[in-house]
Structure 1
Amino acid sequence: MKKREKEPEQKKEEKQNKKVTFNISKTNNFSEWFSEIIDKAELADLRYNVKGFVVFRPWAVRCMEKMYDLIEDELQNKGHEPAWFPAVIPEKNFKLEGEHIKGFSPQVFWVTHAADTILEEKMAMRPTSETAMYQMYALWIRGYRDLPFKMYQRAQVWRYETKATRPFIRSREFYWIESHDCFATEKEAEKQVLEDIDTTEKIMHQKLGVPFLALRRPEWDKFPGAVYTIGSDSLMPDGRVIQQPSTHYLGQGFAKVFNVKFKDKDGKEKYVYQTCYGPAVSRIFASVISMHGDDSGLVLPFIIAPIQVIIVPIFNNENKAIIFKKADQIEQELKNSGVRTKVDKREDRPGEKFFFWEMKGVPLRIELGEKEIKNKKLVLFLRDSKEKKIIDEKNFVEVIKKEGDLYDKRLKDKADKWFKDRIVDCKTKDDIKKALEEKKIAKCNFCSIGKEGEKCAEIVEKELLASVRGTRHDKKEIAKGKCPFCRKKANFVVYIAKSY
């Protein structure tokens, strides 16, 4: 018997359902999953007609604005002041610091014309702001009373990335915060490095649920012009690490170049010691998406979700007015208590709305129908566990707030366990290779993170297609035995991983 051909309306309905559902395996095909969720959840649009540049769409921007607020509040609580510096930097500024220009010149976008006029001196679109900010610091810092001097800006930066670009992960324009600090002593400056790591811990890990390793980079992989660099490496589902906020101890190198001095208590002029710290908000968002999302779409932390609670009224023509009125009342009570809430009054079927808001990653959903109004109960759906609870209407606001806190804790706990399970101890090159093939981070003994270890690092890059990420800066780990590559005495415990 022939199957009855689907009616045009039925085909249309199925097509609409396909738009709001999402069912791709993040574990088996992360690359496709990531591309699809960016498209389906309307996080970014890649169709802007300049290669490597994307348009960030409202749902992503609203999340990232909340992230900016969290980071800026933490920085200001720790004594940083906000500023806005120009986006263009004169070429002569770059030339002042040799290592810096050598490291960044291949990535710089240069402005050479103003209208039809060729500029006397070309200007860089800032790839980072040391060479913009420190000339002003030399004017502002005079004596020891001006120190410590802690300043940051939220800004866009531009880098001509030659590697493959991906929205949020790697692009030629990204959105970040950069703090640049000055101190009277080396001890104070190095204490700031630890404070920067603490900021990453408190915001990216504790608030957003993204675990990381604070790793001191090998000598060959430090920030151009820095004494040393600490990178915060998080792991993506495809087994590649992504560098999140990095902090750099700059010593007095930039201070001497830009003449940033102060008169100390003893009356002598001295150069300041400097640090800089760069949390890239758009890149952290990539980790948030990837760490918490599942095969149904986004799973956004409650703390940054643009909509924390979606109310889905279940109605017909007869009871629509009554249910909408109650939904509006619940929405207003939640909004009054600071919970970002929306009522979905579209005429679509409830199931379609459920799928849509699950794909968008809204943490909590209230389902409200005639039965719930009669019984003075609410159906509460939890996005992360997909569990449904029946809650009393009389104290629903307190319950929602508590569930939001518990929700974020569950996301963090789940991510911590996943991350911990993917760091493995390795003794041999074969062990390391196996760990990398299993999409994990290899922890092993290593000869040196100084220049003498560079040859072994080249073996890692060429034979294992990975990189030596560095040593733990937040804890002391004792090396034993020999380096698995050169068989010389191991002096450091390092972490090896594939990366973006």
Structure 2
Amino acid sequence: MIEFYDISGCYILRPWSFSIWEAIKDFLDAKIKTVGVTNCYFPMFVSEAKLQAEKDHIEDFAPEVAWVTKSGDGDLNEPIAIRPTSETIMYPAFRSWIHSHRDLPIKLNQWCNVVRWEFKHPTPFLRTREFLWQEGHTAHATKEEADVEVLQILEFYAAVYEELLAVPVIKGRKTEKEKFAGGDYTTTVEAFIPAAGRAIQGATSHGLGQNFGKMFRIEFEGADGKKAIPWQNSWGLTTRTLGVMVMVHGDDKGLVLPPRVAPLQAVIVPITMKDVDEGAQLKTCGEIAAALREAGVRVHVDDRSNYNPGWKYSYWELKGVPLRLELGPKDMAKQQIRVVRRDTNDKEDVPLSILPQKAALLLVQMRAARTPPPGRLVCKCGRLTPPSVRRS
């Protein structure tokens, strides 16, 4: 999943973990596009002067900001910060783009990396000095429209965890002390880690009010001809999702990946023996894999000759592949294959003629078994109602 790097707090995402991040990205990207969000990209650098101009917002991030101070052997005339978040980078552009109510809403998102350098004890996936994320930034003509979007995005984040990663979450609102610096209020999805007995923040959706519009002097002419300040939101989800998933879905053998997010849903392990036509066996494995792919199953044939079947079993169990398919000479003679579930270790001999349908059914059953039912977690002390519609 991950490799350590020679700079503390920075990690290498290996293809297995990055494939899961890509699945998360594709899932969420499709969700946000249904509500009119479009993707873009802004530079990762921000000037010191711009950061200082927005002291109220950046105060909470100041200890975490990483600075570029040199170019080659020479010092820069002005230090340049690497973004800890992009409000101060994006909102000057909003000021240039927003002039009339017809320019609203603006709904932008970028998939990028950020750097936050404060903490002394980084943890893979959970607290890293560089991480990947998406950050959405939107501007609206009315507070009501902005408030609706905050909760809409929060539902999308909950879907990432519950529908894709099979991790139950609690939706709620942060306290005044915990809310996003410069915002009006912050909503959050929180996951519970059974092994630690603690909750962990999964993603946040912020109602920024008109605070940043005032900071950056963003104004538009309303339908009534009067000047107004837009209502803004920001929201983000990071590669911390991978860490939460790992802590929830695992056992003593390794990962137990939910089928929907697993890079591979099935692996075929040929059991070779002396005096057996290995070529014919591998050909059969290839035909089985092709049939499974036609049924929509992501499958791989582990035909490595330098490892024995037992080693391969342990390897794929560690990686959390939902289904292991074992094909030996006796199985070929009987036109069947041994199917082993990663989550329960149940074993079943399945005729090759019905394997694609059976594998697809097992994956559906495994997904259902690991997906939390709606309302399973309830937080009695939290409320999701935005401040604008709360009764005094």
TM bracket, shorter-chain basis: over 0.9
Tell me which residue corresponds to 2:362: 403
**Aligned-residue RMSD, C-alpha:** 2.1
1:124 deviates by 1.1
CA-to-aligned-CA distance 1:16-52 (integer Å, 9 cap, x gap) = xxxxxxxxxxxxxxxxxxxxxxxxxxx1112x22121
CA-to-aligned-CA distance 1:157-198 (integer Å, 9 cap, x gap) = 100132421100101111111101111000011101110111
Matches within 5 A, 1:170-319: 170-236=127-193, 237-280=195-238, 282-317=239-274, 318-319=276-277
- What is the CA–CA distance in structure 1 between the aligned matches of 2:385 and 2:278, rounded to whole Å? 58
1:108 deviates by 0.3
Whether contact under 8 Å (1:384, 1:411) holds in the other structure is no
1:300 deviates by 1.1
Tell me which residue corresponds to 2:31: 74
Task: Give the secondary-structure state (helix, strand or coil) at the position aligned to 2:19.
Answer: helix
Tell me which of 337, 362, 367 is aligned to 2:326: 367
Q: Which residue identity is paired with 2:155?
A: D
1:334 maps to 2:334: no
1:444 deviates by 8.0
Tell me which residue corresponds to 1:110: 67
Tell me the matched-pair count: 384
Residue ranges of structure 1 left out of the alignment (5+ in a row): 1-42, 424-442, 446-470, 477-500
Tell me which of 303, 310, 313 is aligned to 1:351: 310
Q: Which residue identity is paired with 2:341?
A: L
Q: Which residue identity is paired with 1:354?
A: Y
Tell me which residue corresponds to 2:390: none
Whether contact under 8 Å (2:154, 2:188) holds in the other structure is no
Q: Which residue identity is paired with 2:334?
A: N
Q: Which residue identity is paired with 1:326?
A: T
Distance change (3 Å), C-alpha of 1:475 and 1:380: farther
Whether contact under 8 Å (1:299, 1:384) holds in the other structure is yes
Matched residues, percent identical?
34
Tell me which residue corresponds to 1:325: 283
Q: Which residue identity is paired with 1:206?
A: E
Say which is worse superposed, 333-342 or 175-184, in terms of deviation: 333-342
Whether contact under 8 Å (2:24, 2:164) holds in the other structure is no
Distance change (3 Å), C-alpha of 1:474 and 1:345: farther
Tell me which residue corresponds to 1:165: 122
Higher helix proportion (structure 1 or 2)? 1
1:273 deviates by 0.2
Distance change (3 Å), C-alpha of 1:92 and 1:106: same
CA-to-aligned-CA distance 1:313-350 (integer Å, 9 cap, x gap) = 11224231221110011112223444221111123322
Tell me which residue corresponds to 1:473: 384
Tell me which of 35, 49, 63 is aligned to 2:6: 49
1:475 deviates by 11
Residue ranges of structure 2 left out of the alignment (5+ in a row): 388-392
Task: Give the secondary-structure state (helix, strand or coil) at the position aligned to 2:10.
Answer: coil
Task: Give the secondary-structure state (helix, strand or coil) at the position aligned to 1:221.
Answer: coil
- What is the CA–CA distance in structure 2 between the aligned matches of 1:444 and 1:203, rounded to whole Å? 23
What is the TM-score normalised by the length of structure 2?
Answer: 0.92
Distance change (3 Å), C-alpha of 1:408 and 1:444: closer
- What is the CA–CA distance in structure 1 between the aligned matches of 2:256 and 2:68, rounded to whole Å? 41
Say which is worse superposed, 134-143 or 218-227, in terms of deviation: 134-143
1:248 deviates by 0.7
Tell me which residue corresponds to 1:458: none
